[in-house]
Amino acid sequence: MKCILSIAGSDSGGGAGIQADIKTITSLGAHALTVITALTAQNSIGVLAIHPVPPGFIARQIKAVVEDMPPDAVKVGMVFNAAAVKAVTRMIALYRLSPVVVDPVLRASTGRLLLEPDAVRVLRERLLPLATVVTPNLHEAELLTGKRVRTLKEMERAALEIFRMGPRVVIKGGHLKRECSDLLFDGKEVTVFPGKKIASTCTHGTGCVFSSALATFLALGENLKEATQSAHDVVRRAIRGGYCVGRGTGAVAPYSTGRIEGLE
């Protein structure tokens, strides 16, 4: 069985973070390994508090897992501060882990910062050069490039700029106004994965599901274009199967196997 290592924060509401990664990886037939970078006091309405895990303990978690159960792929999500980014980067380099999918979790959907401002530069300069692929949404692409990203054409320009930081790039278009298309730049060509808008308020965890699914499909032997299409499909199924929990945004269901109606 393939082992996928998720290095990310814990969502006490169960909709995103490590919890979403475990559900996604397991549903795709792989074994989930986990390294917790931060604990959040979180529910469907928002993030109330964040307790970062000391960087030395993050490194010890990675060491413990990797030396016994070498992962076939790695997903990096919320790392919260510069010290954590440095610890994760050091361990990825030390153990030469690959492929590495970086989901640059910069801000919660409710607005709470999930990566401290001074850590963004460290992520760009140290972590992204070690990544196989990075998967920002529109807002995250704007923060990484310092430029507006609201259309497919702007997504393409941003992907080319982020590629110069080191990794191949998938920009997730879930926040586009008229569509939900994702865009891949693999260093040679741009590929768009089109999708119609899905009317749903159950979207919490989509970014985590996409990145952990992408890592899993890469571990299962798909090339980057195939894995991106597969992850795109998984997220659309997860939104279709989403459910209300709590008083805020509902959760997606990455284990949903229903066929996506109208999928291109």
Q: Do 92 and 128 contact (CB within 8 A), yes or no? A: no
Domain boundaries, the chain: 3-240
Residues 6+ apart with CB under 8 A from 27: 254, 255
Confidence (pLDDT) at 262? 38
Superfamily of domain 3-240: Ribokinase (3.40.1190.20)
Catalytic annotation on 13?
Answer: no
Q: What is the pLDDT of residue 118?
A: 86
pLDDT along the chain (264 residues), means of 10: 98 96 97 98 93 98 98 97 97 98 82 81 96 96 94 96 98 88 97 93 94 98 98 95 93 69 36
34, 172, 180, 195: the catalytic one is: 172
Catalytic residue among 3, 180, 202, 208: 208
Of 13, 17, 195, 207, the active-site residue reads: 207
- Amino acid 110: pLDDT: 58
Centroid of chain to Cα 16: 10
191 catalytically annotated? no
Distance of alpha carbon 138 from alpha carbon 93, whole angstroms: 28
> Does 250 participate in catalysis according to the annotation?
no
For this structure, is 205 an active site residue? Answer: yes
- Whether 203 is catalytic: yes
pLDDT at residue number 109: 63
Backbone CA torsion sign across 83, 86, 92, 96 = negative
Give the pLDDT score at 255. 84
Concerning whether 208 is annotated as a catalytic residue, the answer is: yes
- Of 37, 132, 145, 203, the catalytic one is 203
pLDDT of 175 reads: 82
Could you give phi then psi for residue 210, rounded to 5 degrees?
-60, -50
**Tally of residues, the chain:** 264
